[in-house]
Structure 1
Amino acid sequence: MKRQIIDTIEQYDKIIIHRHVRPDPDAYGSQFGLKHLLQANYPNKTFYAVGEHEKTLTFLAHPDTVDDAFYQDALIIVTDTANTDRIDDRRYPNGAYLIKIDHHPNDDAYGDLLWVDTNASSCSEMIYELYSEGVKYKSWVLPDEAARLLFAGIVGDTGRFLFPSATVRTFEVAGQLIRYNFDRNEIFNSMYEKEPNLLHLQGYMYENFSMDENGAAYIKLTKEILEKFQVTPSETSLLVGSFSNIKGVTAWLIFIEEKDQIRVRLRSKGPIINQLAKKYNGGGHPLASGATVHTWEEVDRAIEDLKILCRDYK
């Protein structure tokens, strides 16, 4: 499969790389890491990485601007995106050929060519695997900037290598990446340092979350609460792991009210939660997923479902 992807890349002079909406470090790491990898090995081709910019990820990269006409006869690659509804920049079908590279469950098998590896810790790890195949097949090189981005993506999706998704291979890949010339401390500081207002919101979450006897925890962050702490909905992604350090918590839901929807972040220490996420217009990994609801009544139903899930797990 990896060689098929490389062969396909070599057939096109224009390549546009997409990723999912509301990007996280792995979305940027895989998307821009792939862009820099390919630029270094195919300097005569044109590469763009598109999508709405997430300002908390400015330390990693900034998306490109592409005219509609450029999509004609272009190869489109989508990284780290399980389904078409979550692809950022809806022009992705306008190219000549579509490749999907992803590590989420393949519930939406879109694309002309698909490479899905649910055993990979992150899509950034998969891009490194593509590079490794490229070394053997086409004598590829990996520039420092691509290594920096892929390392950041792996760190982000493994929670600094603390999540079960970090395998022996993940550590092997990370060990190879840190040989390149980039500042790991700068990455860690940029990813995990928080503004004071965000820490104040985190304190509010610790003081106000609810948890039942089976470890089902949750908190509702309304628009009024976010306004009080001057935190945007996207910035709350930096707090999604807050409850992981609380003894007795089995799984948790964080509800973030936005302008026209309520975003749901689901995390777990054991129970499989991506099926719960699918029930509420979402999906993701077994222990880390996302969903969307539109009423507080749906929120309450999701909480009850989580309680049942944690009860049955116990």
Structure 2
Amino acid sequence: MFEGLYSALEQSEVITLYRHINPDCDALGSQWGLATWLKHRFPLKRVIVLGHQKMTNGLFPDSDEIDDETVRQSLAIVLDTANVRRIDDERWQSARQIIHLDHHPQIEHFADLEYVIDHYAATCEILAEFFSTVDQEPLEADVAEYLYRGLLTDTLSFKTSNTTEHTLAMASYLAQSGLNIPQINRDLFDVPLKEYEFASAIRAEAQILDEHLMISVIDQAFLDRWSMTASQAKDQVYQFGGIREIEIWAVFAKDHDDQRNTWWAGSLRSKTLPVNDIAMNYRGGGHKNAAGCKCLDDASLNALIADLRRRLKENQA
């Protein structure tokens, strides 16, 4: 399963690690978990974590900075990212060798070595298995905690449909490192009062369509009123996941770039019906039951919602 991976790591003096834009805990956990594991085993190597978006929640360090020539000399490892345009830092293309390690359905081939296991629940699950084949002893606690964060969040605390016996076995393997699991849960899921109130406001904006589809559309005025971003709004999509009657749910929020060009971005979820194929038609993608899309104009937003309604009706027919 991991043929050639350890050899490539061992032979490379400089290794650069990449993640997707708008990184979640699986992207960050796999990136920092691998970086820390490499530093423990190969202290003389240069291991560089890249990504333009800075993380301010305190759970993960900020990315490193490096010059272009160093990237060209490096082994580049792209983690938790299915397609080229979502890789955060385009310099990966110039590296001397490229590895792709991911659990998303593969839609592009862009690496020299590929380790894509799309029936695993998280990229951190893949890394945990790889590490277990190399090390017979429990992992260092810092490595294990990075991976556990990604595994816990991508499975929504082991509740997603792709949570398997193997997923739980990897969680058990990570827990052997003496993790403080209650504290990890608090760090990941406790929110400040303002965010709780923000989530309540997003729930109040939701509308139910065709009895089993719940949509919350958040415009710029709403975000400005709460001093929140589109990304923070989309992160609240999990709020609608525990409603018995709802099969598909989504949050769409107004987003913009530095030039104030605006568009709609969305997070889509479902219990059993596929939504990633719909997202792919709107500059997005993801997993069968969890996907995202961006750069939607008003017409595209309405068309996407119509497609979600059509998916529900097809299932009911």
Fold-level similarity (TM above 0.5): yes
CA offsets 1:263-311 (integer angstroms, 9 cap, x no match): 1100001110000000101000000000113312211111111111111
CA contact (8 A) 1:277 1:289 kept: yes
Alignment deviations for residues 219-241 of structure 1 (CA, whole Å, 9 cap, x no partner): 11111101111212222243121
Offset at residue 194 of structure 1 (A): 1.8
Q: Report what 1:274 is aligned to.
A: 276
**Mapping for residues 90-239 of structure 1, pairs under 5 Å:** 90-135=90-135, 142-239=139-236
SS at match of 2:215: strand
In structure 1, the residue matched to 2:254 is: 257
Contact 1:216-1:251 within 8 A present in 2 as well? yes
What displacement does 1:186 show?
Answer: 2.8
Q: 1:54 to 1:306 in 2, by over 3 A?
A: farther
Q: Which runs of 5+ in 1 are unaligned?
A: none
C-alpha distance in structure 1 between counterparts of 2:296 and 2:310, whole Å: 22
Partner SS for 2:293 = strand
Aligned AA for 1:300?
A: N
Matching of residues 293-312 of structure 1 within 5 Å: 293-312=295-314
Q: Is the 8 A contact 1:253 1:303 kept in 2?
A: no
Please say which of residues 150-159 and 34-43 is displaced more in the overlay. Answer: 34-43
1:227 & 1:80 partners in 2: Cα distance?
31
CA deviation after TM superposition for structure 1 residue 54, in Å: 4.5
Q: How far apart are 1:140 and its partner, in Å?
A: 8.1
1:9-51 deviations in Å (ceiling 9; x for gaps): 1121000000100000000011110111111111221101110
SS at 1:280 equivalent: coil
Measured at CA, do residues 140 and 69 of structure 1 come closer, stay the same or move farther in structure 2, by a change above 3 Å? Answer: farther
Question: What's the CA shift string for 1:167-222, capped at 9, x where partnerless?
Answer: 10111111111121333233212211222222222212222211123411111111
Q: Any conservation in 2 of the 1:36–1:143 contact (CA below 8 Å)?
A: no
CA distance in 2, matches of 1:51, 1:79: 11
2:259 maps to what in 1? none
- In the alignment, what sits opposite 2:286? 284
Moved more, 78-87 or 227-236: 227-236
Compared CA separation, residues 209 and 309, structure 1 to 2 (3 A): same
Instruction: Identify the residue that residue 26 of structure 1 maps to in structure 2.
Output: 26
- Runs (4+) of structure 1 exceeding 4 A deviation are none
SS in structure 1 at match of 2:5 = helix
Match of 2:78 in 1: 78
RMSD: 1.6
Mapped contact 2:18–2:89 kept (Cα < 8 A): yes
Aligned letter for 1:19?
R
TM-score (norm. length: structure 2): 0.94
Give the aligned residue type for 2:116: V
For the 8 Å contact 1:26–1:124, the answer to whether it is kept is yes
TM-score scaled by length of structure 1: 0.94
Percent of aligned positions that are identical? 26
